[in-house]
A and B are shown apart, each in its own frame.
Chain A
Amino acid sequence: MSGPALRLAVELDGDGAHPAAWRRAAHSPDHLLTPRRVARVAAAAENSGFTLITLEDGALPPGGTPDVVGRIGAVERAAFLAASTSVVGIAPVVPVTYAEPFHVSSQLASLDHISVGRGGWVVGEEERPEAARVWGRPHVDGEAARARESRDGVEVVRALWDSWEDDAVIRSVATSRYLDRDRLHYVDFTGDAYAVKGPAIVPRPPQGQLVVLGRPDRVPAGQLDVALVEGRDLAAVAEAAAGAGTPRTFAEIEVALDTAHATAEERVADLEQHAPWTDRGRLRHIGSASGLAVLLGRLRGVVDGVRLHPLVLDEDLPELSRLVLPHLFERRLAVRPLPGASLRTHLGLERPANRYAAGPDIEALQETR
């Protein structure tokens, strides 16, 4: 199949997608939660040519013993990486099942300022009932209820991003005004369970709106820029992508590659002795780099991009970087991001107009000329 070149995203939480990935990591466990490690993995992904890094998160420990039980918050990692990378997009997973949307909006808008327009947001969910206790809130029970929280949360966050018009800071010496209150807006959101007044305390993000990614069955299509679609085979992915109704679609792919030391099968089998690789109903490629390149080539035209979930970051990222991505770039099956452009630009998405802006004020425009 053919179509526009793919955009490549990679998930970089912990030591990899497998719960026991830490056992094959190139470092000791106590290096996982250090800035050097966080920065090094992201630098590897950026240098390979990925367009987007995503960072999984949740308020509870990521797994149970004997596996990894520690995790630095994704927003903090994302901000740290925004300052230590220069081209790649960065999207933390942030659930709004219990969190305060006002805080989430500020944090993500700040990420976009810090990264000068490279920010994204993967809308997550807190599924485990214990998470409610973390937040001191009643349990949000069931998929429908969680989806409602996500819908309202995303709505508030997005409205707050627009609550400052782009030119709300006027610095008008003549009138002594730093802000123009006519370009600031109360969002006055009222949902089933809560209300939020606004405006934001952070000026509008450089991208206007960060790129919002999420599962199309969990967040309304109208609120997503990128649907993360799942399916065990190409046909299932194609069907999910066709029905997503979002500007862009990315296929979720779990990846284990052959390395010089062990085949992909052997590596997976090694980790399976310790824990099962949770089946989420996603495409999975266990095998050679060339096989992965063929699979990705077939996804061109089916989806706009892919998000790879490498089995073990320390093993699979070098192979991706050495063999897979160069091949895709050479054949123009995928594109590298260019320095100086926003994540939206990299994904071919326009900078959205502000929902509150009254359209161009011709007189004001002429005055400033």
Chain B
Amino acid sequence: MTRTDPLDVPRPDAQLHFGVFFQGVNHWTIWSDPASGSQIAPANFRRVAQTAERGLFDAFFLGEGLRLREVDGLIHELDVAGRPDAITQLAALAAVTDRIGLVSTSNTTFNEPADLARRLSGLDLLSEGRAGWNVVTTDNAWTGANFRRGGYLDHADRYRRAEEFLTVARALWDGWADGAVSGAVGAPAWAAPGAVDRVRHRGTQFDVDLAPTLPRSGQGHPVIFQAGDSGEGRDFAARNADVVFSAHGNDFDDALAFAEDLRRRLLAVGRPEDDLRILPGTEIIIGATEAEALEKKRWIRLQQVTPATALGVAGLLWGLDLSDRDADGPLPKEDPVVAENDGSFGARRVADPRVVVAEWREKAEANGWSLRETVIALGPQRGHVGTPAGLADRFAHWVRHGAVDGFNVTPYLIPDGLDDIVDLLVPELQERGVYPTEYTGRTLREHLGLREPLTHRSTTDGRQAG
């Protein structure tokens, strides 16, 4: 390996970690192209996971949404939707992959810790230590309508429940002593007497008194990911997470500020500042030349932001039904209506739509943009565009300066959207010494270079902790 960077780089040995986020619901996955395959066929999940594994990705991710999205009480029709249950799908992928981590997004509000901890443990054992759990919180009553409990949790309580949920899950995961189960045929008992601890927990959210049913995996227990951006969310991550799945991956300064903020929070709770991996979600668009990459980006954006989608995105911003307007015409004249977000179109909270609309008007006028062009130019900016060499230089710079530890790549095309990243970008990264040339470990925790699970650290044998 050759290292060409000067030694004053803060993290000269930093390695980039890639995950792939197989999106189930969004308008960034192009569905209209002839090369776009089924979002539910098992062969496509296998294809993406195996391609990622060929590219030495650390993890394959699935998101979660427990109700079909709606706009104004009508099911949203424009975007890909309809996806498998994450843990179930990942358990299947455990059978057809060897190394890649398998990460499930599962929320703490509409699950119970004993059940979810057991399901995740099962995935961890079936994958021999490759499971991860992206902890998300959901508090909207609208999602609750699909559950026995209904929409019962206050916004203020969601992280309180999440934290206690995780405490219970970890206690269950740590309930079995290492080597609890006999390794000898003819043993007098299946598990050593006293090797399984009953978990007794009584808190404000949960009252559990239970013998856990599964041993620890080769990585201790599933790696904890967290996706949430509020101050509460970041503090929760600092206390609990191994990896943060962030939304700060487009602009270097923004990514660095986020990373520094998280590192401060880590130190504040007594963890080393390199204890957490930060993997922003991103899209990567590759061309043979810069110009070709930009042209490809333009084509991709037009597929993603169709006229109907542009009107939909603008409608959410304006708080108005704009579906009968002309997307190729000017911006709506009306002032935006500020409405309460009920969660029916995801958790996104726009700052103040009036400010955003004013900015959109100004830029649209200055550039002569139509509504659709404005949505494309000023909507959420996503990802990285360039040549394999240019992107590799950029990513090496980002990771060596501590802005990120890697990226969670969202392919814009299923199932082949990772191919050029694996075939063209990965070799360039390897040449720069910022990307592994083989899997050195077996578990997801090892791939990510993480220490022992948090609960195992305070004692030497790691068992009585927590």
Contacts and interface: CB of A to CB of B under 8 A. Distances in A.
Interface of A: 22-23, 25-30, 32-35, 38-39, 59-62, 65-73, 75-77, 79-84, 99-103, 106-107, 109-111, 113-116, 130, 133-136, 164, 168-169, 171, 173, 175-181, 184, 193-199, 201-203
Given A113-B40, A202-B84, 11 more contacts: A30-B183, A65-B193, A66-B188, A66-B190, A69-B191, A99-B115, A102-B147, A103-B111, A136-B112, A136-B208, A198-B146
A56 to B, nearest CB: 13
A7 to B, nearest CB: 24
A67 B191 CA distance: 8
B185 A27 contact: yes
Interface size class of B (residues with CB under 8 A): 35 or more
A63 B89 CA distance: 28
Most central of A71, A82, A106 by chain B CB within 10 Å: A106
A173 B32 contact: yes
Contacts of A180: 77
A100 B147 contact: yes
B309 A176 contact: yes
B82 A134 contact: no
A110 B91 CA distance: 11
Contacts of A102: 66, 146-147
Contacts of A76: 87-88, 91, 119, 122-123, 126
B77 A177 contact: yes
Contacts of A35: 94-95, 125-128
A184 B75 contact: yes
Contacts of A199: 68, 75
B92 interface: yes
Interface of B: 31-32, 39-42, 46, 65-68, 74-85, 87-89, 91-96, 110-112, 114-115, 118-119, 121-123, 125-128, 145-150, 176, 181-191, 193, 196, 206-211, 213-215, 306-309
B65 A29 contact: no
A202 B38 CA distance: 13
Contact of A29 (B112, B191, B306): B191
Contacts of B149: 194
B190 A201 contact: no
Contacts of B306: 176
Contacts of A22: 190
A33 B81 contact: no
B92 A75 contact: no
Contacts of B187: 28-29
A173 B209 CA distance: 54
Rank and list the top 10 A-B pairs by shortest CB-CB distance, nearest first.
A66-B189, A176-B308, A76-B122, A110-B84, A83-B95, A79-B91, A197-B145, A83-B92, A72-B122, A110-B88
20 contacts: A30-B181, A60-B213, A69-B213, A76-B126, A100-B148, A107-B85, A110-B84, A110-B85, A110-B88, A111-B88, A114-B42, A130-B209, A133-B207, A134-B114, A168-B82, A169-B39, A176-B78, A176-B307, A177-B78, A195-B150
Contacts of B127: 35
Contact of A135 (B114, B122, B189): B114
B122 A77 contact: yes
A166 B214 CA distance: 38
Contacts of B308: 175-177
Contact of A80 (B68, B85, B95, B193): B95
A116 B42 contact: yes
A68 B89 CA distance: 27
A22 B145 CA distance: 44
A201 B112 contact: no
B147 A201 contact: no
Contact of A181 (B77, B82, B87): B77
B182 A29 contact: yes
A69 B126 contact: no
A203 B88 contact: no
Contacts of B78: 176-178
Nearest to A169: B82
B424 to A, nearest CB: 29
Contact of B213 (A70, A107, A136): A70
B213 A61 contact: yes
A30 B213 CA distance: 13
Contacts of B145: 195-197
Most central of B40, B85, B145 by chain A CB within 10 Å: B85
B193 to A, nearest CB: 7
B206 to A, nearest CB: 6
A229 to B, nearest CB: 29
